[in-house]
């Protein structure tokens, strides 16, 4: 019409180019799934292979293989969800006897927990309380290899379950990102370096490590990041080097293993401007539509 001047003599409706238009929401994955995929990308780019496993695990892989005593409070019902009237399959006798010895009398000069270890307790089936059970199974899968081949970098990002009271920063179902590095030359500064690099890529510049205690690692650290909304340091989880009581029964010999397992859901709260973990999974469509796409 402009080219032919046919607009002359016509009537046109006015347009207000500053008026609001209907909101358009494109399809996208759930905010947590977006972040999980990004974490997978980080670990893969750092040379790690992904570990996978069942949400239901035996107490053996979740606790015993990780040198957690059978009378440890973390095994009680107030912390752990048990599957009623179900017994799980235990690994081969070689690993079973090695773990039993570590608990009862120790390995590599340690004294162990000095009690009578029970297979019945190890057979109990639970909802896994951490993804570290996958690390234990991965180490066991390397047992029959030659010493020079017992190495690798492995990760997982997956669901865990604990009998927690639901509040602003605690969930009874949550994601954890797990990692291990198996190498005869692995050392503690390398562990801190891997963690710093991962958190930097996740968008955190202010992180700190605090000395801590876990039954299956020594030395051990807690990982904290500074959360600007709460204006305080937020604990994400633990890390350390697996003790010989873990590595010798599973690998057949002691090889240094770096290990970590920080909580993942807390880690992504700041990016999505979520200040209460309960909001992350309430599936409010209005909130999900407005949430920004994960781009780092």
Query: Percentage of the chain surpassing pLDDT 70?
Result: 100
Least confident among 35-49, 153-167, 194-208, 265-279: 265-279
Per-residue b or e along 260-294, where b marks 16 or more CB atoms closer than 10 Å to that residue's CB = bbbbbbbbbbbbbebeebeebeeeeeeeeeebeeb
CB 277 within 8 A of CB 265: yes
Paired residues of 259 in beta bridges: 180, 240
Whether residue 125 is predicted with pLDDT greater than 90 in this model: the reply is yes
CB 113 within 8 A of CB 104: yes
Closest of 74, 76, 70 to residue 114, by C-alpha:
70
**Dihedral-angle region of residue 51 (phi above 0 means left; psi in -120 to 50 means alpha; beta otherwise):** beta
- Tokens 């029970």 correspond to 118
On average, the pLDDT of the chain sits at 92
pLDDT tens-digit series, residues 33-89:
999 999 999 999 999 999 999 999 999 999 999 999 999 988 887 789 999 999 999
Categorize the per-residue pLDDT at 121 as very low, low, confident or very high, splitting at 50, 70 and 90: very high
CA–CA dist 90, 48 (Å, integer): 28
Model pLDDT, residue 231: 81
Cite the DSSP H helix spans in 182-230: 188-201
Model pLDDT, residue 296: 74
* 33-40 contacts, C-beta under 8 A, 24 or more apart: 34/293, 34/294, 35/264, 35/268, 35/271, 35/294, 36/157, 36/175, 36/264, 37/294, 38/202, 38/294, 38/296, 39/157, 39/177, 39/198, 39/202, 39/264, 40/155, 40/157
Residues 6+ apart with CB under 8 A from 67: 102, 103, 215, 216, 243, 245, 246
Least confident among 143-147, 148-152, 233-237: 233-237
Q: pTM of the full predicted structure?
A: 0.87
Name the residue ranges covered by the structural domains of the chain: 31-285
Can you tell me whether residue 101 is helix, strand or coil?
helix
Model pLDDT, residue 26: 83
CA–CA dist 170, 234 (Å, integer): 12
CATH topology for the 31-285 domain: BirA Bifunctional Protein; domain 2 (3.30.930)
Mean per-residue pLDDT for 170-177? 89
Model pLDDT, residue 68: 95
- Tokens 């010895």 correspond to 101
Whether residue 258 is predicted with pLDDT greater than 90 in this model: the reply is yes
Closest of 261, 81, 269 to residue 168, by C-alpha:
269
CA–CA dist 145, 150 (Å, integer): 6
Mean per-residue pLDDT for 215-232? 87
Distances (CA, A) of 283 to 30, 164, 187, 289: 9, 21, 42, 10
Helices (H) and strands (E) in the chain, counts: 8, 10
Neighbours of 83 (CB within 10 A): 13
Q: Report the DSSP pairing between strands 152-161 and 49-50.
A: parallel
Model pLDDT, residue 164: 83
Categorize the per-residue pLDDT at 273 as very low, low, confident or very high, splitting at 50, 70 and 90: confident
Closest of 88, 23, 74 to residue 214, by C-alpha:
74
Categorize the per-residue pLDDT at 148 as very low, low, confident or very high, splitting at 50, 70 and 90: very high
């Amino acid at each position: 019409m402009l080219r032919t001047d046919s607009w002359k003599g016509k009537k046109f409706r006015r347009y207000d180019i500053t008026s609001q238009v209907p909101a358009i929401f494109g399809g996208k994955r759930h905010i947590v799934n977006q972040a999980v995929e990004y974490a997978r990308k980080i670990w893969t780019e750092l040379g790690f292979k992904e570990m996978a496993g069942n949400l239901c695990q035996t107490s053996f892989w979740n606790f015993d293989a990780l040198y957690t005593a059978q009378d440890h409070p973390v095994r009680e019902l107030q912390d752990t969800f048990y599957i009623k009237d179900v017994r799980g399959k235990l690994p081969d006798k070689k690993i079973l006897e090695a773990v039993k010895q570590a608990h009862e009398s120790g390995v590599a000069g340690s004294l162990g927990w000095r009690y009578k270890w029970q297979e019945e307790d190890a057979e109990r089936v639970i909802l896994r309380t951490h993804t570290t059970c996958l690390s234990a199974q991965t180490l066991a899968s390397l047992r029959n290899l030659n010493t020079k081949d017992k190495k690798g970098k492995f990760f997982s990002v997956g669901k865990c379950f604990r009998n927690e009271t639901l509040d602003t920063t605690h969930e009874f179902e949550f994601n954890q990102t797990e990692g291990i590095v198996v190498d005869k030359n692995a050392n503690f500064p390398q562990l801190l370096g891997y963690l710093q690099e991962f958190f930097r890529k996740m968008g955190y510049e202010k992180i700190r490590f605090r000395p801590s205690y876990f039954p299956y690692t020594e030395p051990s650290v807690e990982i904290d990041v500074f959360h600007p909304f709460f204006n305080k340091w937020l604990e994400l989880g633990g890390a350390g080097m697996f003790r010989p009581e873990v590595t010798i029964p599973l690998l057949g010999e002691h090889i240094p293993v770096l290990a970590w397992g920080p909580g993942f859901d807390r880690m992504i709260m700041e990016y999505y401007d979520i200040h209460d973990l309960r909001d992350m999974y309430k599936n409010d469509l209005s909130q999900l539509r407005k949430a920004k796409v994960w781009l780092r």
